[in-house]
Copies of this chain bind each other. A is one copy, B any other.
Amino acid sequence: MHTFQQLVQEFETQITTRNVFPERPNNLYEPCRYLIALKGKRVRPVACLMAAELFAPIPSCTWDAAIAIELFHNFTLIHDDIMDKAPLRRGFPTIHAKYGLTAGILGGDAMSIFAYQSLSNVENNFRKVLNLFNKTAIEVCEGQQMDMDFENRTNVTIEEYIEMIQLKTSVLLAASMEIGALTAFAPEEDCKWIYEFGKNLGIAFQLQDDYLDSFGNTEKIGKQIGGDILANKKTYLYLHALQNANSVQKEQLAQWLQKEDYVAQDKINAIKEIFTHTHADQACREAVNHYSQKSFESLMQLNVPEPKKEPLMLLAKELLNREQ
């Protein structure tokens, strides 16, 4: 059994030595190399590898799947950052901010195709792996669209919001794990449980991300605090606050949403105060706990010896305690 750190380290070695991106044309591949070199947490590929190791020594083609998943994830980040007009990613300029719109669009496109190319090296259960990958990729696009749509809607429910983050974020973590399990020829039922584990963990993780975007710490999370607030994102915090706001607070929320000229920090402070007064921060943490609990229950259902589950359990705990 490997630890998270061991797998991250080996993953870095693999993705570096494989030279995924050719030298030329440089304007296409330099942005791709730039983003991959910024690393990120590598949660999805490592989760894929850990899921495989529940069932067998990690097959060599699981690494191809893990790299495919990380490339796909980075592709979505590049394009999402354009759509979200995000200036920073992992504490550094986003690709479109650094290299321009064309580099962002085309670099993302190339990254997604290299993801498929890496996936094509998978031997074990390849059809199942590919079908799950495709299904998930489509769901991720649909989740991103819902997220965009929510910005222009005033009647988003918390239920719809959970559906959106499930599609946009958590199905990819879930699929990463099931794909890992498939490459290790896991029994069908265990594949489903590991998917459920990843899905609920992903939802818990995203809800915590919402929390940290308002109540976290720039240095630790590597992006601007209050980004969601400035982008008028209908996060869990916002939706809960709106549901529980008194008439004065409702009016304040509405006014801040419409305002076009303001000092960014003023808007962030005002909205955070409403979050706190409506106990949205507390509710968000409770929701994190609810989905964490569900994910741990799925992990318990897995028909493998308990000690083997230890790395995934630690991964989950690590993810969910990064800043609390």
Using a CB–CB cutoff of 8 Å, the interface residues on chain A facing chain B are 24-25, 27-28, 79, 82-83, 101-102, 105-106, 108-110, 112-114, 116-117, 120, 127, 130-131, 134-135, 137-138, 141-142, 144-146, 148-149
Contact = CB atoms under 8 A, between A and B. Distances in A.
Number of copies: 2
24 contacts: A24-B142, A25-B142, A25-B149, A27-B148, A27-B149, A28-B141, A28-B142, A79-B105, A79-B106, A83-B101, A105-B105, A106-B144, A106-B148, A109-B112, A110-B138, A112-B113, A113-B134, A113-B138, A113-B141, A116-B137, A117-B138, A120-B127, A120-B131, A120-B134
A185 B12 CA distance: 40
A130 B120 contact: yes
Given A113-B137, A113-B138, A149-B25, A105 B131 contact: no
B105 A146 contact: no
A109 B242 CA distance: 33
Contacts of A79: 105-106, 109
Contacts of A116: 116, 134, 137
B102 A83 contact: yes
A105 B82 CA distance: 9
B120 A27 contact: no
